[in-house]
Amino acid sequence: MRISLERNRGSDERPVYRQIADQIQGEIESARLEVGARLPTIRDLARELRVNRDTVAQAYDALAEAGLLESTVGRGTFVAVPAKTNGNGHAFQPSFPALVDRLLAFERARPRFGTTQGAIPMHAVVPDPSLYPADAFRKALSRVLTRGGPELLLYGETQGYAPLRKALSARLRSAGLPATPEEIVLCHGASQGISLALRLFTSQGDAIALEEPTYNNALAAAHAHGLRSVAVPMTPDGPDLGALERALSRPDVKLFYTIPTFHNPMGTTTALAHRRALLDVAHRCGKPVIEDGYEMDLRIDGRATPPLAGLDVSGLVVHLSSFSKSLFPGARVGAVVARGPAVDALLALKHASDLSDSLPLQAALAEFVESGEYERHLGRLRRALLERRDALLEALEKELPEGARWNTPEGGYQVWVELPDGIDTRDLLSDSIRAGVLFAPGSQFNHDGRASQALRLSFAMAGADDLRAGAAKLGRLVRERLAGGEPRRAPAIHV
């Protein structure tokens, strides 16, 4: 099987993985690769083609989804038996619009961890299940179902359960964001909030400004809505304000998405002066700002800074929050704060999307917050996170080689680590998975998926001892790579 790649985007607009997949498909359709033929392993083909292993994995996944390949654990990847056909003798091949193909390419570029049983989970920003207040929440749910009866099993209001909006209003006000219950729209976590806010201000083909690096699911949402992204580089102080003004001055750029508190993936928090300056830029350009405050309840150090939405007096900022990180993801409760006509527009978009959210869960959460259980849970969670963060930072200081840099987050779950030049953390990840340590490579937070020497480490799911052990293994792998000379950088995966 011979595969030739064109790496110059000017002469072949297809991503590298798609070039590989198309040529293998041609070999299958021409019968040069017969049914049952075994393909090279991902590692071997990646080495032969001089590409990253994830690129070959994307190609194989695309062919498997098309029914052309099948993989068996422990045996390998083979040309599949043809699928059953319709009456004309042809297997149905769905044709997706370019928007969906683009999103599929983005999703396939995400790291694949395979079996992770027994591995140290430093990759996911998901709360540790051992810290969930399951029993207390079960009791709250039982109480509201007993009081509410069958009425709680009906459709709820599109805007969300009124007592929960009232409780959230009080919490936001104490955090420096005065928002009335009428200015709050409940949703399925901050993820749906991102989607609703994007639809509020953009149409397919528009561009939006996002930080670089940024939350990868915000990039996915942009792809899903057919939006182009404009990168605003992050500095130690926050997003580069000069670059932001240049981006927002463009007529095709409709908004700016930012995470000023406990940034994902960088863990940084911007100062009050920077926040005011950012709002000045947005006002001058007349462009709205989506502020993602998904971890705002997880401060473990320092003094809180008012949210952008709390400093904004004109309704320019749409604020997102969520219980997924501070409580547990299964609650699927988030909130969008907006003002004026934006609230009615959000309600119309939400009603068209899903009518309403789960009324029993929202009622239980209102009970959980109003009873004081949520605040007590936050106290326990913050103590655990402080211990874990400090253990990880101490281990990084001990284990990582000279030239590595990282930040000290004031809250949230993540530490951003920059390794010495020459290390592509996508390549490092493969070795790290085999060593039993999982992390998120920096490439997945870049707009174009290009190689990065940075990585995100999470202290959400692993305890202090595991974090120390994981840092030790990671440090050893980094030193081994540095000792072996500068490794070859993998090409960017364009989506």
| Mean predicted confidence (pLDDT) in 320-326 | 96
Q: Tell me whether residue 434 is exposed, middle or buried, using C-beta atoms within 10 angstroms of its C-beta: 0 to 12, 13 to 18, 19 or more.
A: exposed
| Percent of residues, the chain, with pLDDT higher than 90 | 71
Nearest to 439 by CA among 474, 393, 409, 395: 474
Is the pLDDT assigned to residue 89 strictly greater than 60? Answer: no
Is the pLDDT assigned to residue 403 strictly greater than 80? Answer: yes
Domains 16-95 and 134-371 share a fold: no
Query: Which pLDDT score is estimated for 92?
Result: 65
Residue position matching structure tokens 């500095």: 235
Residue position matching structure tokens 């062919």: 63
| Mean predicted confidence (pLDDT) in 345-366 | 95
pLDDT tens digit sequence for 160-205:
999 999 999 999 999 999 999 999 999 999 999 999 999 999 999 9
Q: Per CATH, which fold does 120-125+381-483 belong to?
A: Aspartate Aminotransferase, domain 1 (3.90.1150)
Residue 319's φ and ψ, nearest 5 degrees, are -105, 135
pLDDT tens digit sequence for 255-272:
999 999 999 999 999 999
pLDDT tens digit sequence for 117-130:
789 999 999 999 99
Q: Quick one: pLDDT band at residue 430, thresholds 50, 70, 90?
A: confident
3-state SS, 437-472, equals EECEEHHHHCCCCCCCCEEEEECCCCCHHHHHHHHH
* 8 Å CB contact between 410 and 485: no
Q: Which CATH class is domain 16-95?
A: mainly alpha
Nearest to 300 by CA among 461, 168, 130, 460: 460
Token pair of 229 as six digits: 């992204």
* 8 Å CB contact between 318 and 337: yes
Q: Which residues 6+ apart lie within 8 Å of 91 measured at CB?
A: 67, 82, 83, 84, 85
Query: Which pLDDT score is estimated for 74?
Result: 55
Q: Which CATH class is domain 134-371?
A: alpha beta
All structural domains of the chain with their residue ranges:
16-95, 120-125+381-483, 134-371
